[in-house]
Structure 1
Amino acid sequence: METAQSATVLMDFEAWMTVIAIICLLCVSAFFSGSETALTAASRGKLHSLADRGSTGANRALKLTENSERLIGAVLLGNNLVNILAASLATSLFLRLFGENGIAMATLVMTALVLVFAEVLPKTYAILQSEKAATLVSLPITIVVAVLSPIVAMVQFIVRGILSLIGVSASDQAEAGAAQAEIAGTIALGHVEGNVDRDDRDRLLGALDLKDREVEEIMLHRSDMEMIDANSAPQDIINQCLTSAYTRLPLWKDDPENIVGVVHAKDLLRAVNKVMRGESNALAALDDFNALDVAMKPYFVPETTTLDDQLREFLRRKTHFALVVDEYGALQGLITLEDIIEEIIGEISDEHDVDDQTAPQMDDAGNYVIDGAMTIRDLNRALEWSLPDDEANTIAGLVIHEAQMIPEVGQVFAFHRFRFEIAAREQNKITSLRIKRL
């Protein structure tokens, strides 16, 4: 009788110890689940900001997330280990209490406990307080990763071996623009959700796009360039500089392709003023004036230079003006520092600008009358459209690319969910179009 009572007491003691062990294991499982979510959901930018303010926890969290594969491997290993152990103990306990029916009951009870207390609850908290949770768990997780690193390394070796058998390389590096793409996506999402203004979005995305865009996309084409013939009479050169809307003008000699200098209006006027004040017969002396004496040396850049590189080069050289050439050295156009800045902050206008493009206006028929030289990027910005700019820079170029011909006035095309009607054309140049969304 005493033996039976002792056995019952021992069994009760073992059952309670098993219950306590299961609860402890569920707590550890919740810790691993919350830690995984916190460290993966935490913003590295915010963690970096906290680390700069002296937070050692944020600094440890940053170091942990540098090798996400090792981190996730260690956390998942620990999480699965405690979950399997907790399920095994629960099955053993329920078998003793309910016999063969204990397996089903243990499965249902442990599924509910793990789902609520070891998965949903800690992960929800980690999402709501990701940076705070990441700093709190960084120290214990650092220890766990250090202890389990040999096992994790072996698991990674096995996984990579299996992936290689099916033609997947696990050693491929993430694309170089992943961080930039993530930032751009966040800005676009913020605009959709109403947290980022349209102008702010355009400025931020414009700055991010400088590395992906080339000089030829925004340069002023040579057909629209205003240049000075160095062989012209000095008074004609002076008059052209004074009446021009531009401060800097390319100077060519014998052939428009032969750019020999760039005249700055201020330098020209200083030189003319010096001549006029220094000679008794100023007008006669002005006839001997040579614009090449005050012209700056021309600065040429390849058309494939990225806008980011060109911006840095402008700042380094302390100049604002460059001539664009193709791979054969032929003149293609010109680019200024203002052109690049306008890609970030939008159009910059002053009292001398006469060709600035105004926002397109819709007519009664629902058409937008667009200048053919308007860039696709500017049109997309102005009207919130998404016309592709991979194959052409201007609206006219897009129509010619899609039509595979130079259209006649009145011809109509439909592509990319838009209707394009040729409104005006000069020789082979499309100067105006009517565009309507279909």
Structure 2
Amino acid sequence: MNEASLTTLSAILILLIILSAFFSSSETGMMALNRYRLRHLSRTGHRGALRADRLLARTDQLIGVILIGNNFVNILASAIATLIAVRIWGDAGVVIATIGLTIVILIFSEVTPKTLAALYPERIAFPASHALGPLLKLLYPVVWVLNLITNNLLRLMGVQLEGDQSSDHLSREELRTLVNESGSMLPGRHQDMLLSILDLEKVTVNDIMVPRNEIVGIDLDDPMDEILRLVRSSQHTRLPVYRSDINNTVGILHLRNISRLLHTDEINKATLMQLCREPYFIPESTPLHTQLFNFQKERRRIGIVVDEYGDVLGIATLEDILEEIVGEFTTDFASSSSQDILPQSDGTTIVDGTTPIRTLNRALNLDLPTDGPKTLNGLITDYLESIPESNLCLALHGMRLETLQIKDNVIRTVRIHPIEPSESQSGSENEKPDK
């Protein structure tokens, strides 16, 4: 073997090592592509993304053509390296070529290009698709035979190949993780809204309804003057209309319909009933995402929440559901939750006992359980298993609670003392109450 032949073989060997690096980086780059970003870029007409998406549509064929090319150039490089080494070092060249080429391929054709492709998959995969597409067409018969054999072997092993085994669809929890890890790509406010939408099916109308004892409505048994006074002073747009008891709800009155009659003598209870719309009842266990669609389908904005026996538990409105997604946006300061949660200068917070736990969690960044009692009063009495006869203090779920007012078998006012980390670690989470 003369010097010219040795130089030619060396050049071919270097080219084969480069081709090996190309196939290795292409495989890693293609597999490391973000499928959702790839589909987005494909929809916008990005040519590289379109080519890569077509190749990834049949992953078995893509891997087949890459491995055929990679193995071919590696085996050919091994043969040429052995010829060169034997020419230079004789019989010892076989061992030297094996060791030397293994190190070179590992460094320059495997680890380095694959690491680079894993870090920048789009920069590698999109240009590589220029060559992989035509190469797949050229070697398609070989790839088809190879895939036929391997797919049959996989079927013999019990592997189901039909359908999309890669399962690109995201579960709800995976989507939640994706939103949480979006970082600066999504503003924090938008992240909160998306997460709230995902949580809608975990929340029922019973969690967000206005409880029965807080319902403002029109009792047809009241004098007409009192009814008109209620209508004129109401801060709500829609009011339930009932006879004697809220369980006997007969309709929902939109105040817009009656406003034009307030200054005339035409208004009476019969006229008021004509202006009412039939009531819309909601089972208490209805998930919020279902109720949101039901409101849309029925063209309603308010519903009467009832239990399994048909007794009224409260009312739920479209605004209540939307606030679960976007947060508080009401301008009704009289009913605003801020009136029920009053921070004090000493670091404590005075809270109305009827404040919903979900509202309390959002306002004070707490993590109180919401799968049991719905209000702070209910949470305390559920823990005590009785209604306290006098004010007391207790430690509960990382807070020190002090009841300030107990009236009509309801804890009306509670002072919340935040527990210091050292205190919460040294003591029990739920201490016995100190009276």
Q: Report the TM-score, using the length of structure 2 for normalisation.
A: 0.75
Secondary structure of 1:241 counterpart: helix
Pick one of 108, 114, 117 that aligns with 1:119: 114
Does 2:368 align with 1:374? Answer: no
Equivalent positions of 1:393-412 (< 5 A) are 393-399=374-380, 403=383, 405-406=385-386, 408=388, 409-412=391-394
Distance 2:185 2:98 in 1: 52
In the alignment, what sits opposite 1:50? Answer: 44
Equivalent positions of 1:12-161 (< 5 A) are 13-14=8-9, 16-37=11-32, 39-40=33-34, 43-44=37-38, 46-47=40-41, 49-51=43-45, 55=46, 57-59=48-50, 61=52, 70-71=58-59, 73-96=60-83, 97=85, 98-126=93-121, 130=122, 136=127, 147=140, 148=143, 151-152=146-147, 155=150
Question: In the TM superposition, what is the alpha-carbon distance from 1:27 to its structure 2 partner?
Answer: 1.8
In the alignment, what sits opposite 2:88? Answer: none
Distance 1:9 1:44 in 2: 47
In the alignment, what sits opposite 2:432? Answer: none
Q: 1:413 touches 1:420 (CA, 8 Å); kept in 2? A: yes
Which residues of structure 2 form unaligned runs of 5+?
86-92, 422-435
Question: In the TM superposition, what is the alpha-carbon distance from 1:80 to its structure 2 partner?
Answer: 4.5
Aligned length in residues = 403
Q: 1:215 touches 1:305 (CA, 8 Å); kept in 2? A: yes
Does 2:255 align with 1:265? Answer: yes
Does 2:200 align with 1:210? Answer: yes
| Deviation sequence 1:22-61 (CA, Å, 0-9, x none) | 3323222222222222x3366156325514xxx4554555
Secondary structure of 2:296 counterpart: helix
Pick one of 302, 310, 314 that aligns with 2:291: 310
Question: In the TM superposition, what is the alpha-carbon distance from 1:322 to its structure 2 partner?
Answer: 1.2
Distance 2:399 2:11 in 1: 73
Q: 1:250 touches 1:259 (CA, 8 Å); kept in 2? A: yes
Q: 1:87 touches 1:106 (CA, 8 Å); kept in 2? A: no
Decide whether aligned partners of structure 1 residues 133 and 18 sit closer, same or farther in structure 2, where only a CA change above 3 A counts.
closer
In the alignment, what sits opposite 2:314? Answer: 333
Distance 2:167 2:129 in 1: 25
In the alignment, what sits opposite 2:224? Answer: 234
Give the letter for the 2:296 counterpart: L
Q: Report the TM-score, using the length of structure 1 for normalisation.
A: 0.74
Distance 1:176 1:404 in 2: 46
Secondary structure of 2:34 counterpart: helix
Q: Kindly report the root-mean-square deviation, in angstroms, between the aligned alpha carbons of the 2 structures.
A: 4.0
Give the letter for the 2:251 counterpart: G
